[in-house]
Amino acid sequence: MHCLPSLGCVLMACALGAGLLPEAAGRSAAGPRDNAIPSCYDQLREYAPRNAAGDLTVIIDQTAYLDARMRQIVRETVDRLLRPGTNVSIATFSAYLQGHYLDVLVAGQVEAPVEAGQRDFVSKRELRQNDECLRDQFAFAHRLVAKALDGAFAGIDPNVERSDILAALRDLSRRVRAAPAEARLVVVVSDMLENSSITSFYQGNRLRGIDPDGEMRRAAAAGIKADFRDARVVVIGAGGISSARAGGQSYRDPRAMLALEEFWRRWFAASHADLVEFGKPTPLVRVNWDQAGLRETDAR
């Protein structure tokens, strides 16, 4: 590995060579989870990009059943959206039970190269080393995120009956809002079936036909207010259910699914977010970054 002789590059080289898990690889000078991707700008700090172009937050509901195909879709989606110039965070939540809690597993920035207008002020040798370090950083970030996702998937327990989705999204919205980035994208991996003291979208073991207006009033009465600061939101896994929880009744009424989507569309809109794709359970529209933020592109 060739890079500037910085602490970030040394840590990255060691982590890549040892194949560390996210928990270990994230123990950089800044702490166990944030800034888990070592910087390539320790020696070129005056040329480091000030803010990320985008902030990618992946939120995984560990009470939701995800089969092998859905897990692969999540991996492919995150891998595609992770690119230079983006912050990335992988978070999990469950129910407010012993041993189950909201957690940010890993977070860091995939740095952009030195801006074109600044490259003439940096020596060719330093530029070459910086570019090589950034390529290694990009590979490191992909491996780190992939292992964090696998760790999150390993903690899934669909037999947990409660699911505090609204409260978890409210709490995580503060992190999204505070991210120093030009655009924000939130990927929510969840069945989106709230089952908490606030409300329940179940009737027995089946999705009930909810009233979006009534559920909005319940959320407001419980003080579940969020602010995602104009983030775009993609949901993967909505309405999914394990055969064990369904008790053999895995059919989803299309009208109930439409009502579920309408509620979440309204709730995210009230939370200063745009629900651009609601995968039931698979997203049908491919969402990509562009310079203005996000753009819906081609169908799958």
The reply to whether 11 falls in a domain is yes
Give CA–CA dist 14/18, Å, rounded: 6
Q: 63 Cβ partners below 8 Å, 6+ apart?
A: 94, 95, 156, 157, 158, 160, 162, 163, 191
In the predicted model, is pLDDT for residue 225 greater than 80?
yes
Question: 207: helix, coil or strand?
Answer: strand
Tokens of 263: 């509620």
Residue 281: asked if its preceding bond is cis (omega within 30°), the reply is yes
The reply to whether 287 falls in a domain is yes
Question: 105: helix, coil or strand?
Answer: strand
- 115-119, 228-232, 261-265: least confidently modelled range: 115-119
Give CA–CA dist 126/120, Å, rounded: 11
Residue whose entry in the numeric block shows the structure tokens 């709730």: 267
The reply to whether 2 falls in a domain is no
HSE value, Cβ hemisphere, 13 Å, CA-based, for 289: 24
Cβ of 221: how many Cβ atoms within 10 Å?
A: 10
Q: 187 Cβ partners below 8 Å, 6+ apart?
A: 56, 57, 58, 59, 74, 77, 78, 81, 233, 234, 236
The reply to whether 33 falls in a domain is yes
Give CA–CA dist 48/238, Å, rounded: 39
pLDDT cut 90: percent of the chain above it: 64
The reply to whether 226 falls in a domain is yes
Give CA–CA dist 156/163, Å, rounded: 12
Q: Do 241 and 250 contact (CB within 8 A), yes or no?
A: yes
pLDDT cut 70: percent of the chain above it: 80
What range defines the domain where residue 114 resides? Answer: 7-299
Give CA–CA dist 219/166, Å, rounded: 8
151-205: pLDDT as tens digits:
999 999 888 888 899 999 999 999 999 999 999 999 999 999 999 999 999 877 7
Q: Where are the beta strands (DSSP E) in the chain?
A: 52-61, 86-93, 103-110, 181-189, 202-203, 206-207, 231-236, 273-278, 285-290, 293-299
Tokens of 280: 């039931």
The reply to whether 193 falls in a domain is yes
The reply to whether 273 falls in a domain is yes
The reply to whether 151 falls in a domain is yes
In the predicted model, is pLDDT for residue 208 greater than 80?
yes
What secondary structure does DSSP assign to 57-77, as a single string? EEEEETTS---HHHHHHHHHH
Identity of the amino acid at 142: H
Instruction: State the distance between the two ends of the chain, measured CA to CA, in whole angstroms.
Output: 37
pLDDT (0 to 100) of residue 102: 87
pLDDT (0 to 100) of residue 12: 53
How would residue 251 be classed by pLDDT, with cut points 50, 70 and 90?
low
Total structural domains within the chain: 1
